[in-house]
Amino acid sequence: MTSGLWELVLQGVWVTIQLLVLSGLLATAVSFVVGVARTHRLWIVRFLAGLYTEVFRGTSALVMIFWVFFVLPPAFGWQLVPLWAGTLALGLTYGAYGAEIVRGALQAVNPAQREAGIALSFTPWQRMRLVLLPQAVPEMIPPFSNLLVELLKGTALVSIMGMGDLAFSGNLVRLALQESAEIYTYLLLIYFVIAFLLTRVMRGLESKLKAGVGKAPARRRDVKPKLPEATAVGGGVR
């Protein structure tokens, strides 16, 4: 490929990374808010959080992008640029999946930990912040890592809006070269590299968080037992 076509692909990589970061941040915020709400003591809060989760998990991300980009503007009288439309649609969709990860991790914490927080007269927010989340978050990292990789692959859907992401740029290069095998092989490799880096970063974060929650106890020094100075035999001392 010529330098101009490579520049077009690199611009697509940058747009994809922007979309991944922005939608990932939104999905993370939604995941924790809705996931914590799924464990709330009030049934109405649990119901609304569950309704959101079921609706967004049960709808297509592709159709959601169409809906945000084409249906919302006439309904509310404003137009989202493709980057923000893609961020909103992907963040809300994948946040619904992340909410189930948060809910499952919170409910997996030993009930004795909750009881200990109650015994210490912690408020519900203190129990969540000081007891439950520090133990649950490290367990969320592996499934969140998988979800981020899925989100990365889902960013290719925004090309239907004409957004110049990696998939859209690759298609333009394909049309210019009239060659599919070369450009799509490069796209596969680029997506793989980004996903590989994501998983490595998340694995490092998991190790760091788990080390902070439960550190190995300090190794005790071996102490030789003292031998008795004398042994009593037959009532006497030798």
What residue spans define the domains of the chain? 14-214
What does the pLDDT look like over 169-203, one tens digit per residue? 988 888 888 777 888 899 999 999 999 999 999 99
Tell the CATH topology of 14-214: MetI-like fold (1.10.3720)
- pTM listed for this prediction: 0.83
Is 168's pLDDT higher than 50?
yes
According to the model, what pLDDT value does residue 174 have? 86
| Sign, CA torsion 24/29/32/34 | negative
**What phi and psi, each to the nearest 5 degrees, are found at residue 43?**
-70, -30
Averaged pLDDT of the chain: 85
> What is the percentage of the chain residues whose pLDDT exceeds 90?
46
What does the pLDDT look like over 211-235, one tens digit per residue? 866 544 344 454 444 444 444 444 4
What does the pLDDT look like over 105-130, one tens digit per residue? 999 888 888 788 888 878 888 888 88
C-alpha 65/C-alpha 93 separation (Å) is: 10
According to the model, what pLDDT value does residue 233 have? 42
